[in-house]
Amino acid sequence: MPEESTELAPRPPRRRGRTALLIAVAAVLGVVAGTCTGFLVQANRAPDKLPALSQPKLTQAKGPAPERLSAAQDRRVKTDGDLRKLLLKKPSGATAALFPAGTDGWQDLADFSEAYTKPDATLGYQLRQEFRRAAVIEWDEGSREVDVSLVQYRQEDKLGAYDATTGAFYYADQEPDTESWTVPGTADGKAYVHHADDDGYSAEAHAYRGDIALHIWVYDSKPITKAKIMDLAKRQMERL
């Protein structure tokens, strides 16, 4: 497991908070300010001080451009589109979460971090892991709450999806009175059932495919079966 991910507690509380973190705003504003400063410095330079933009003349290819690959041929066609369309659908008879995470199925970094038990540490970690975006769906079925998240990473210098998944494994394995199983059809995805504690019953599943990490959490006042969490995990992975 990546060493730096030990600072996190990936399992969220039963209901996710909605408080935005000012540190996220500060980080974004800092990047914007730095970029603007760079443009201003360049703009104020004399023409003879600017770097040359000339290069050898390139011969333009002739003929029609090749057709774009389909989603079946290129997975990025699907995963670079609307990530929310890849989420599981709310089951018939289930109700939407009373306090949904994010806005219209999307979670920005502040909302995503606030869902965890250590928001500040999570935000810093996700920035280092090159967090790109997150899509989420939540529903209630009687006393049962189901939360499904797809988190996408840029993966330019880090294997963010892999690191997030293995970090989640580490914490899930620390829970007492826990059973776990490999999720079929995944490289090393795992599903967990945590038996009753003071807060009731819970289960979770984590896996990754390419640049997307999958996280599923289920909470209930009644026992959650292996079949339930495995079914959710398998069906969600089939959509990626």
* Tokens 């000012």, residue located: 22
Phi/psi-derived region of residue 93, left when phi > 0, alpha when psi is between -120 and 50, beta in every other case: left
Q: Please, what is the angle between helix 22-43 and helix 119-128, to 10°?
A: 40
Predicted confidence at residue 108, as pLDDT, reads 93
Predicted confidence at residue 14, as pLDDT, reads 46
Mean pLDDT of 186-214: 92
Q: Does residue 197 contact residue 173 with C-beta atoms inside 8 Å?
A: no
* pTM of the complete model beyond 0.85: no
> Cα–Cα distance between 186 and 210 in angstroms, integer?
11
Beta bridge partners of 143: none
Predicted confidence at residue 58, as pLDDT, reads 61
Predicted confidence at residue 83, as pLDDT, reads 96
Q: In terms of DSSP bridges, do strands 131-141 and 106-107 run parallel, antiparallel, or are they unpaired? A: antiparallel
> Cα–Cα distance between 208 and 217 in angstroms, integer?
15
Mean pLDDT for the chain overall: 79
pLDDT band at 199; cut points 50, 70, 90: confident
Q: Which position has the higher pLDDT, 179 or 1? A: 179
User: Domain 3-29+77-238 falls in which CATH fold?
Assistant: Protein Transport Mog1p; Chain A (3.40.1000)
- Give the CA radius of gyration of the chain: 22
> Cα–Cα distance between 180 and 159 in angstroms, integer?
24
Q: Which position has the higher pLDDT, 52 or 79? A: 79
DSSP, collapsed to helix, strand or coil, labels residue 16 as coil
Please count the CA atoms within 13 angstroms of the CA of 84 that sit on its side-chain side: 10
Predicted confidence at residue 22, as pLDDT, reads 27
Q: Could you report the per-residue pLDDT of 129-144, keeping only the tens digit for each?
A: 999 999 999 999 999 9
Beta bridge partners of 190: 182, 206
pLDDT band at 76; cut points 50, 70, 90: low
> Cα–Cα distance between 129 and 109 in angstroms, integer?
12
Predicted confidence at residue 27, as pLDDT, reads 39
Question: Domain locations in the chain?
Answer: 3-29+77-238
Q: Could you report the per-residue pLDDT of 205-225, keeping only the tens digit for each?
A: 999 999 999 999 999 999 999
- In this predicted structure, which of 73-87, 100-114, 157-171 has the lowest mean pLDDT? 73-87
Tokens of 212: 């997307």
61, burial (CB in 10 Å: exposed 0-12, middle 13-18, buried 19+): exposed
- Contacts of residue 169, Cβ cutoff 8 Å, sequence gap at least 6: 1, 190, 206
